[in-house]
Amino acid sequence: MLRHELVHIRRGHLLLKLLLTAACAVHWFNPFVHLMVRWAQRDIELACDAEVVQGTDAELRGQYSRAILAAAGGGSGPRLSVRFQSPKKALKLRFQTIFDTASKRKGRGGLLLLIACTVASGVFVSCGVNHSSAADGLIPPSNNTTYHASNVQWQKLLECKTDYVGDNSKVVHAVDLLPLPGGAVRDSVSLQTKEQPYGFTIHYSTEQDLTQQAIAAFDRACYNNAIVLFSLIGNADRITVELRNSTYVYPFSYTRETVEQAFGRDVRELANDQDFFGLVSRTLLSPTEIQP
């Protein structure tokens, strides 16, 4: 246990964790940054474990694993702590790594590459926002609706906040206030309120033949919309989207669990006057178009 902490100190892991926390703070509404930070923190622990057990026998590796398991039930520590607490999957991966006697030399390079990608993505996100019309407070429209984050639309969206999927008028109104790739038309919204998982399906149609790029753009736009909808609709567990053209129906599905894992928090906490403006601005900032 002591050697584990000494490895953290010698390698400067507290400073790395501070850098990762800063990346999350600056790009709080970017789920990809949260995922990369989580992966980086995982690799920090794996690299530390590998050095601690290097050259030890199976008995000592077992004792070390039991120490980690015993510490895992000790509750959550401070944000910058290098304590042992880990989710079940992370613990399983750590134990597999501890008892794997193969060389771990590639782990350090992978960790450095992951951290570099985290920092670089933050730079690119910042550059993209500054280069767009975000400087004027505009969320570019993609369904012939004007979105202005500084006054009307985000406030109208916040007025749609409800605890229940069954609140049909607010759910549908929120859906219609959200931007979509040009070329898609909403047909209907069907609610699932009888049993869990509660949610709804949004049906869209287009007359265009869709390329893989267009489908990916639509998926990305719907995922961003789903983040906002999950923040507004209290008991929504799943949002399904179907895009129909003349030959095929393309299904997309988004869950609250996936979104909140990416954000690292309950997104319903963001549906308030202080935080919702930022959520809408950062989530719906990038317009996309369906191209034939």
C-alpha span between 270 and 205 (Å, rounded): 31
Query: Residue 206 in contact with residue 143, Cβ under 8 Å?
Result: no
User: Tens digit of pLDDT for each residue in 151-198?
Assistant: 337 788 999 999 999 999 999 999 998 887 667 899 999 999 999 999
User: Tens digit of pLDDT for each residue in 185-237?
Assistant: 999 999 999 999 999 999 999 988 888 888 888 888 899 899 999 999 999 99
- Region 71-80: mean pLDDT is 51
**pLDDT exceeds 90 at position 136:** no
**pLDDT exceeds 80 at position 238:** yes
3-state secondary structure of 157: helix
The predicted pLDDT at position 230 comes to 96
C-alpha span between 286 and 103 (Å, rounded): 43
Query: Residue 184 in contact with residue 143, Cβ under 8 Å?
Result: yes
Strands (DSSP E) contained in the chain are 138-139, 147-148, 185-192, 199-205, 238-244, 249-255
User: Tens digit of pLDDT for each residue in 43-71?
Assistant: 777 777 777 777 777 777 667 667 776 66
Distances (CA, A) of 245 to 75, 218, 223: 51, 13, 20
Q: Which residue has the higher pLDDT, 230 or 103?
A: 230
Q: Which residue has the tokens 């730079």?
A: 123
The predicted pLDDT at position 69 comes to 67
- Extract the tokens encoding 113: 């590459």
* Pure H helices in 73-104: 88-99
For the chain, domain boundaries: 2-131, 137-283
Biggest distance spanned by C-alpha atoms of the chain: 67
pTM over 0.85: no
Strand pairing report for 238-244 and 199-205: parallel
Nearest by Cα to 244 from 184, 176, 201, 180: 184
